[in-house]
Copies of this chain bind each other. A is one copy, B any other.
């Protein structure tokens, strides 16, 4: 349970709010690289932490991320002309480069020095892992670009996508770090994709024991399921990297072991982007069939999508719940693993009031994650660096394994928990 004050603190991320200022101390995904496929192509609207921005790729291939309203009289630069190393406003022709400098102001006399006084808000960008990353905080605090393993995975080994979600970002993270829901929300009665061996283990033991270990990048936690009668436990070690990254291993997800995870990135207080990534641990790149399968399983296949990275299934159409399916084939009656996540998360409302909740032992990871975020907000307010902003997560990797009872997972899985890419 959070007080109403804590709930407001952790869910509000506009500029000037404590959590918003903390979020601005980390590199964040602004959009997918594929959204800006070519130099001098069409600009793209971006909304992040409640700020309206526009992204464009300039003639040299660099990405600019500018405040969307022209500093002259406020017209949207989205309608701008992306031409010769800059984005030109169509209203009066002012032109800006990726750093926000006004490089042309043709409606003022040539001798005017006015343009040198204009600097549009521009956030630095960095492209890696299929993502345009940006940093929206004070320049003196800018950390190194993120060193997550999946970001470094070789071309062809990584697949990344994004999905619009119609609620506060925290509901997304909570679903992600919540281990026990996979025994219910994603359960199937038919053989669905049950070739995924570990899924059956999660259904067999529905009340996992959680162990949370704080780290300097966030925490790792083990979800331990006792397999009765076998003298064994199924242990899944998740990684939570501040402020919104989650990683987990998945033995048979698309037919072989992979690592996958999400980022839940605030668009504004009532909406967020879910970035979905998957990469292989072995030397064989992801096949087209594996990527197709990932889309089908998660509910993000091409036929599931509307423009703007939105799902056709939504709260407005009850996610096309099928009560007969719910009775006989799947726990929810909703198809698509991540569509199921959205259904419950969005059904909590735009910003869930956590003063109404009742948390149990299965919610330890959720509780730990909130504490870290609240502490980060308070640290930044107090002039301190927030957790994980300046520390490395280069070596972080999740893992899962079936272990004999009595064996310590941190020792037995030590090697598996080290990044190899």
B184 touching A73 by the CB < 8 A rule? no
- A93 on the interface (CB 8 Å rule)? yes
Q: Report chain B residues within 8 Å CB of A352.
A: 73-74
In the docked arrangement, what's the CA distance between A110 and B117, Å?
A: 68
A323 within 8 A of B: yes
With A90-B332, A357-B71, A358-B118 known as contacts, the answer to whether A184 contacts B347 (CB < 8 A) is no
Interface stretch, picked from A100-108, A214-222, A252-260, A383-391, is A100-108
A298 within 8 A of B: no
Q: Does A180 contact B (CB under 8 A)?
A: yes
Q: Is A229 an interface residue (CB 8 A)?
A: no
Is residue A392 within 8 Å, beta carbon to beta carbon, of the partner chain?
Answer: no
Q: How far is the CA of A333 from the CA of B42 in the complex (A)?
A: 11
B207 engages A71 (CB within 8 Å): no
Q: What DSSP secondary structure best describes chain A's contact surface?
A: loop
Q: Which stretch (A155-163, A241-249, A359-367, A401-409) binds chain B?
A: A359-367
Using CB atoms, name the residue of chain B closest to A366. B73
Task: Please determine whether B114 and A360 come into contact, CB atoms closer than 8 angstroms.
Answer: yes
Closest-CB distance, A340 to chain B (whole angstroms): 8
Contact call B72/A356, Cβ cutoff below 8 A: no
Contact of A344 (CB < 8 Å), options: B81, B91, B108, B321:
B91
A332 close to B79 (CB less than 8 A) = yes
Is A419's beta carbon under 8 Å from chain B? no
Tell me whether A331 is interfacial, beta carbon within 8 Å: yes
- Does A127 lie at the interface of the complex (its beta carbon under 8 Å from any beta carbon of B)? no
* Chain A interfacial residues counted at CB < 8 A: 65
A91 to B41, CA, bound (A): 43
Residue contact B357 to A106, C-beta cutoff 8 Å: no
Question: Is the C-beta of A192 less than 8 angstroms from some C-beta in chain B?
Answer: no
Separation of A331 and B89 alpha carbons in the complex (Å): 10
Across-interface contacts of A323 in B (CB, < 8 A): 41-42
The answer to the question of A206 belonging to the interface, with a C-beta cut-off of 8 Å to chain B, is yes
Given contacts A76-B344, A207-B110, A332-B79, contact A92 B349 (CB under 8 A): no
**Contact (Cβ within 8 A) A349 B109:** no
Collect the chain B residues with CB atoms within 8 Å of residue A332's CB. Answer: 79, 90
Q: Is A394 an interface residue (CB 8 A)?
A: no
Q: How far is the CB of A174 from chain B (nearest CB, A)?
A: 7
Report whether B348 and A76 are in contact in the complex, using a CB–CB cutoff of 8 Å: yes
Contact of A71 among B69, B318, B356 (CB under 8 A): B356
* Interface residue ranges, A against B (CB under 8 Å): 41-42, 69, 71-76, 78-79, 81, 90-93, 105-110, 112, 114, 117-118, 174, 178, 180-181, 183-185, 206-209, 318-319, 321, 323, 326, 331-334, 340, 343-345, 347-349, 352-354, 356-363, 366
**Beyond A74-B352, A79-B321, A90-B184: 4 further Cβ-contacts under 8 Å?**
A75-B344, A78-B347, A106-B207, A107-B181
A-B CB contact pairs (8 Å), 13 listed: A69-B348, A73-B348, A73-B363, A75-B345, A90-B343, A92-B185, A93-B184, A106-B184, A107-B180, A108-B360, A109-B207, A109-B209, A118-B358
- When A and B form their complex, which 3 residue pairs have the shortest distance between CB atoms, in order from nearest? A76-B347, A107-B180, A75-B344
